[in-house]
Chains A and B, each alone.
Chain A
Amino acid sequence: MTRSSTDFGQLARIVLLLPATVIVVVGYVLPSLVLAAMSFGIVPGTWSLSEATTSHYARLIGDVYYLRVVGYTLFLGIVVSVLTAILAFPVGYYLARSRSRLTSLYAVLTFTPLAVGMNMVTLGWMVILGKTGFINALLLQTGAIKDPLQLLYGWGAVIVAMVHVVFTFMVLPIEAVVRQIDPSLEKAARILGAGPIRTFLEVVLPLSLPGIAAGFLIVFLQVCGAFVLPLLLGGQGFTLMPIAIWEQITVSFDRPFAATLSVALILISIVVMLVQMRIMREKSLV
Chain B
Amino acid sequence: MTTRRSVLKMLGAGGALAWGGGSLVHAQGNSVTITSLGGKWEQSIREHFIPLFKKRTGAEVRVVLGGPSQWSAQIEAQPNRPPLDAVDNSELLAIALKNKGLVVKLTPDKVPNLADTPDLFRKPFDDYGASYQYSTSALFHNREKIPQAPKTWAEFFERTAKGEFGRAVTLPDISYPWAPHIIWHFATALGGSVDNLDPAFDALKKIKPYVVKFWSTALEVERMVISKEVNIGYLWDGRIIAMMGDKNPTLAFNRPGPNSVVVLTPAQVVKGGNEKLAFEWVNTLLDPEPQLQYYKLINFTPTNRKVVIPDDMKATVMPLSDGVTPPYAELAKVTSRIVDRWNREIRG
Co-complex (A, B): yes
Interface, chain A (partner B; CB < 8 A): 44-45, 63, 65, 126, 130-133, 150, 152-153, 231-232, 235-237, 239, 243, 246-255, 257
Is the Cβ of A251 less than 8 Å from the Cβ of B339?
yes
Q: Which residues of B contact A44 (CB under 8 A)?
A: 77
Chain B nearest CB, measured from A245 CB (Å): 11
Chain B nearest CB, measured from A138 CB (Å): 15
Residue of A nearest to B220 (CB): A232
Chain B nearest CB, measured from A266 CB (Å): 19
Q: Which residues of A contact B73 (CB under 8 A)?
A: 249, 255
Chain A nearest CB, measured from B236 CB (Å): 17
Chain B nearest CB, measured from A161 CB (Å): 15
Which of B154-162, B171-179, B317-325 forms part of the interface with chain A? B171-179
Is the Cβ of A126 less than 8 Å from the Cβ of B175?
no
Is the Cβ of A236 less than 8 Å from the Cβ of B211?
yes
Is the Cβ of B228 less than 8 Å from the Cβ of A132?
yes
Q: Kindly state whether residue B267 has any CB partner on chain A within 8 Å.
A: no
Q: Which residues of B contact A252 (CB under 8 A)?
A: 335-336, 339
Is the Cβ of B335 less than 8 Å from the Cβ of A236?
no
Q: Kindly state whether residue B52 has any CB partner on chain A within 8 Å.
A: no
Q: Which residues of B contact A63 (CB under 8 A)?
A: 340
Chain A nearest CB, measured from B247 CB (Å): 14
**28 A-B interface contacts by CB (under 8 A):** A63-B340, A65-B344, A131-B227, A131-B228, A132-B228, A132-B229, A150-B212, A232-B217, A232-B220, A236-B208, A236-B211, A236-B214, A236-B347, A239-B347, A243-B175, A247-B174, A248-B339, A250-B69, A250-B175, A250-B177, A251-B176, A251-B179, A251-B335, A251-B339, A252-B339, A253-B69, A253-B92, A253-B332
| Docked CA distance A45–B76 (Å) | 9
Also in contact, A45 and B79, with CB within 8 A (given A231-B175, A253-B92):
yes
Interface, chain B (partner A; CB < 8 A): 67, 69, 73, 76-77, 79, 92-93, 96, 174-177, 179-180, 208, 211-214, 216-217, 219-220, 223, 227-229, 332, 335-336, 339-340, 343-344, 346-347
| Docked CA distance A254–B104 (Å) | 24
Residue of B nearest to A148 (CB): B229
Is the Cβ of B213 less than 8 Å from the Cβ of A153?
yes
Residue of B nearest to A255 (CB): B73
| Docked CA distance A251–B72 (Å) | 13
Given contact pairs A237-B347, A254-B336, enumerate 8 new A-B contacts (beta carbons under 8 Å).
Answer: A45-B76, A63-B340, A153-B212, A231-B216, A249-B73, A252-B339, A253-B96, A257-B336
Chain B nearest CB, measured from A126 CB (Å): 6
Is the Cβ of A130 less than 8 Å from the Cβ of B175?
no
Q: Which residues of B contact A133 (CB under 8 A)?
A: 227
Is the Cβ of B174 less than 8 Å from the Cβ of A251?
yes
Q: Which residues of B contact A243 (CB under 8 A)?
A: 175
Is the Cβ of B229 less than 8 Å from the Cβ of A131?
yes
Chain A nearest CB, measured from B171 CB (Å): 11
Q: Which residues of B contact A153 (CB under 8 A)?
A: 212-213
The 4 tightest CB contacts between A and B, nearest first, are A250-B69, A132-B227, A131-B229, A252-B336
Residue of A nearest to B90 (CB): A250
Is the Cβ of A251 less than 8 Å from the Cβ of B214?
no
Q: Which residues of B contact A231 (CB under 8 A)?
A: 175, 216-217
